[in-house]
Copies of this chain bind each other. A is one copy, B any other.
Amino acid sequence: MNDLLQKPRKVYVSRKIEFNAAHRLFNPLCTEEENLAIYGKCSNKNGHGHNYLLEITICGIVDPNTGFLFDLKELKNILKEEIMERFDHKNLNHDVPDLQECVPTTEVLAVLIWDILEQRLHNINNREISLHEVKIYETGKNSVSYFGE
């Protein structure tokens, strides 16, 4: 079965999910004026928010028995547990313990999500599957990618 997979084929599988969150860019070690100079309207006192569109890419050799890189149902569950429950309909400054000591920029969020998913995939991984990229679109115009480097 699956002659095409007789030689190893390395593919990249991406999955998009969206979460809605509030945040405020504010560094408590700086004054209000310094925060305003660095973060502009993103430092407004009562915060604002975004529809964060997250795209996760994993890579590895296609399983010749199933034709899948990874069970998508399992990936969906991981993203539900690790991402949606942690970030969706939350305030990134107040509701996410991992961000307590951080200014929750999109860059920081991408790095944090990488660390969370890398750990999780490492634990369950019995084949050669790697996290390849965490990409976050904060708006339709701005995005940040992190590849674990």
A→B interface (CB under 8 Å): 1-5, 9-18, 20-23, 25, 27-29, 38-42, 44, 46-51, 62, 65-69, 71-73, 88-91, 93-95, 98, 101-105, 107-108, 110-112, 115, 139-147, 149
Contact = CB atoms under 8 A, between A and B. Distances in A.
A119 to B, nearest CB: 13
Contact of A111 (B11, B103, B142): B11
B115 A4 contact: yes
Given A62-B111, A68-B105, A22 B49 contact: yes
Contacts of A105: 66-68
B102 A2 contact: yes
Given A22-B49, A40-B73, A107 B13 contact: yes
Nearest to A93: B46
23 contacts: A1-B102, A2-B103, A5-B102, A5-B111, A10-B149, A11-B107, A11-B110, A12-B146, A13-B107, A13-B142, A18-B139, A21-B48, A22-B22, A22-B47, A22-B91, A27-B66, A44-B90, A44-B91, A46-B90, A46-B91, A49-B50, A62-B107, A69-B107
Nearest to A100: B3
